Amino acid sequence: MFKKILIANRGEIAIRIITTAKEMGIQTVAVYSDFDRYSLFTKLADEAYHIGESPSSKSYLLADRIIETAKKCGAEAIHPGYGFLSERGFFAKMCKDNGIKFIGPGHEAIDLLGSKTEAKLLAIKNEVPVVPGTEKPLTDFSLINKIAKDIGYPVLIKASAGGGGKGMRVVNEEADLESSLRTAQSEAKSSFGDDSVFIEKYIESPRHIEIQVLADEHGNVVHLGERECSMQRRHQKIIEETPSVIIDEKLRNEMGECAKRIVKAAGYSNAGTVEFIVDKDNKFYFLEVNTRLQVEHPITELRTGLDLVREQLKIASGEKLSLKQEDITFTGHTIECRICAEDSLNNFMPSTGKITFMNKFLGNGMREDTGILEGDEISVYYDPMISKLVAHDSTREEAIAKMKRALKEYRIEGIKTNIPFLLQLLDCKEFIDGNYHTQFIEKEFLKREPEKLTEDKDTLAALSIAASLFKKNKSAGIFNNNHVSNFNNNHKANNHTPSNWVKKRAENFR
Amino acid sequence: MNKYTTKIDGSETINSIEITGDTTALFNGEEVSYDHKFLSKNVILLRINDKNFIMTISYNDEDMTAEMNLDSKIYTLTCKSELDLIKEKLTIGKGGGKLKKDIKSPMPGIIKAMNVAAGQEVKKGEILLVLEAMKMENEIKATSDCIVKKVNVEAMSSVEKNELLIELE
């Protein structure tokens, strides 16, 4: 086993990796940007090295500097987390060339599966069903137009180097193709530096269901069941659960075997996720392989009792999988909610600013993966996820009830969060029935009329009296001017200049 | 200043509140006992007839609306004091209360698309511009029907938080 590893990531996922590594007696090294100088993950690691400025292109994406740091501090391996350099074959290769173990698959497998067209060909060759569409990245409009016509509308445009929903557009009719293509290409160009796209048949009301796999470096592969990730908005997952209401044991095994065939054929090792879409008739189609640890991996951990980061570290250090497929058992139901700094009442606008108040009561087995504390700042530099809440219980109903209880007791002030929205989703009939798909939120849920007020008298009195007391105190000047100016929608009133957070964090750190 | 009115979104009723003491108040004429503590400058613990309520409040002075979060559910209500009501009476007839509808940047970012030009009429819900920030493209929409008076930024320019992007009337 490794003695020391470097974590080339930040926030909650860096902490997630540090936690397991420490439990295994492995020394941990964090790298950080200007903004993250005193972020929680840098304090939890044994060592922390500054690698650059706040924008990720000047820090967390600087492969050279990260490798250099690993060599300087004597780290034997690098865990890339998710995002940033995690799915960049060149980085895995650089690690290898420098004698550092990349905790993930080999660069050949990353490159092979990272190309959606190559991955699709591989799937076809291995008798894994795929969605009809183009097999080569395209940029030429007239050719794209012709192919779209052949496949039949609606079609989906996807950036060939994409991920996370960026550079993705649905086109319902020929008239919209040109403008949608232009937006998708410009997003793809700015996010990935590559404006080639590919198009495929658009499947209506699909579910996004993915299979977690573990593969060692000796040819052994197991799958750890599915994750239902269909609760999405703009292709960003919001709520994930396992098992999926629509997957029975037979389908799980079929999908699991397909997933195993693909990763075996790709010469893949370490943890990976094979994504499928499932249509209304429960027919599944291969989508892509995420060659890294996923954001939503905790739900699989709680349902299988495995620590995926520990498995990753064991695999990367050359150990054989200690589990065979028949050893994998599933218990109960697990659900994850992603808490994000965004204003769900205002078109989900990202909400930046300082967290002035944070008070939560998790308890009773609730799991929280986070990298943020009261007093921390949500910046524009990184993604707006504050934390992941994960509930595990013996039944789906109990897991949902546990999640709702914890969400109601999770209070954050200073920024807006999507917690009210998450609770509305958990309360809607479609979610309760398990009857939802990837377009449910945008096409149905968000178009509904707001519900009428049905609160009891004490609640109405509480709201009214609280507002009155607040106003009374305010006019009496109990709060000083500083406070008062903060009342008007904190994130709007705050000035962008990064306040003096460096100094303030320095104080917290002491 | 102990008398207030509230109107909660989703209900037609205008409630009257009178804070009669440190632990007593009248809600629509009925006496309620309460206890309260501010847990932070805008988080309040309130016990009404011994039932617990923890709420966060963001209050907007301009339109006297409070956005309140109770058990992670958002309520919007208008809360006015006696003085507010008197002021309101005075401004009516003066034709006061012109609504500001200017579009300011909610966060620093890059204008990916500017869909409107000066003089253009826009309908409520129409996408005025696309702002890229936190790696996501955010559509900024018109909140009401209006006319574009002036556009202050060009597509692909970067903007700071609170920068005036579009003036509307």
Provide the pairing of β-strand A207-215 with A221-233.
antiparallel
Which residues of chain A have a pLDDT value below 50?
Answer: 480-498, 510
Q: A246 vs A112, A204, A249, A298, CA distance in Å?
A: 31, 16, 10, 21
pTM comes to 0.81
pLDDT value, residue B109: 84
pLDDT value, residue A479: 53
Does the structure show a pLDDT above 60 at B36?
yes
Whole-number Å distance between alpha carbons of A216 and A271: 9
Domains along chain A with CATH numbers: 4-103 (3.40.50.20), 104-131+204-331 (3.30.470.20), 132-201 (3.30.1490.20), 338-447 (3.30.470.20), 457-509 (no CATH)
For chain B, domain boundaries: 3-91, 103-168
pLDDT value, residue A16: 98
Residues 6+ apart with CB under 8 A from B8: A453, A460, A463, A464, B15, B75, B76, B77
ipTM of the complex, rounded to two decimals: 0.75
Does the distance separating the beta carbons of A464 and B77 come in below 8 Å? yes
State the CATH architecture for B3-91: 2-Layer Sandwich (3.30)
Residue from the list B34, B61, B134 with its beta carbon closest to the beta carbon of A465: B34
pLDDT value, residue A130: 93
- Whole-number mean pLDDT of chain A? 91
State the CATH architecture for B103-168: Beta Barrel (2.40)
Provide the pairing of β-strand A197-201 with A155-163.
antiparallel
State the nearest Cα–Cα gap between B148 and chain A, in angstroms. 21
Residue indicated by tokens 């069941």: A225
Higher-confidence position of A374 and B133: A374
Does the distance separating the beta carbons of A466 and B55 come in below 8 Å? yes
Residue in A292, A303, A338, A505 annotated catalytic: A292
Q: Among B168, B127, B124, which residue's Cα sits nearest to residue B145?
A: B124
pLDDT value, residue B110: 85
Does the structure show a pLDDT above 90 at B168?
no
Sheet holding B103-104, edge to edge: B103-104, B164-168, B146-151, B121-122
- How would DSSP label each residue in A57-82? GGTTT-HHHHHHHHHHHT-SEEE--S
Chain A residue with minimal CA distance to B134? A380
Residue indicated by tokens 């903060």: A486
pLDDT value, residue B124: 83
Q: Among A324, A220, A325, A308, which residue's Cα sits nearest to residue A271?
A: A308
First to last CA, chain A: 34
Does the distance separating the beta carbons of A462 and B48 come in below 8 Å? yes
Partner B, chain A 396-435, Cβ-Cβ below 8 Å:
407-411, 413, 419-420, 423
pLDDT value, residue B137: 79
Instruction: Give the tokens for residue A379.
Output: 């910046």
pLDDT value, residue A496: 46
pLDDT value, residue A500: 58
Q: How many CB atoms lie within 10 A of CB A164?
A: 17
Whole-number Å distance between alpha carbons of A336 and A121: 33
Beta strand ranges found along A153-251 (DSSP E) = 155-163, 166-171, 197-201, 207-215, 221-233, 236-242
Partner A, chain B 45-74, Cβ-Cβ below 8 Å:
46, 48-49, 51, 53-62, 66-74
Does the structure show a pLDDT above 70 at B93?
no
Q: Among A471, A501, A472, which residue's Cα sits nearest to residue A487?
A: A471
Whole-number Å distance between alpha carbons of A495 and B105: 12
List pLDDT tens digits, range A54-84.
999 999 999 999 999 999 999 999 999 999 9
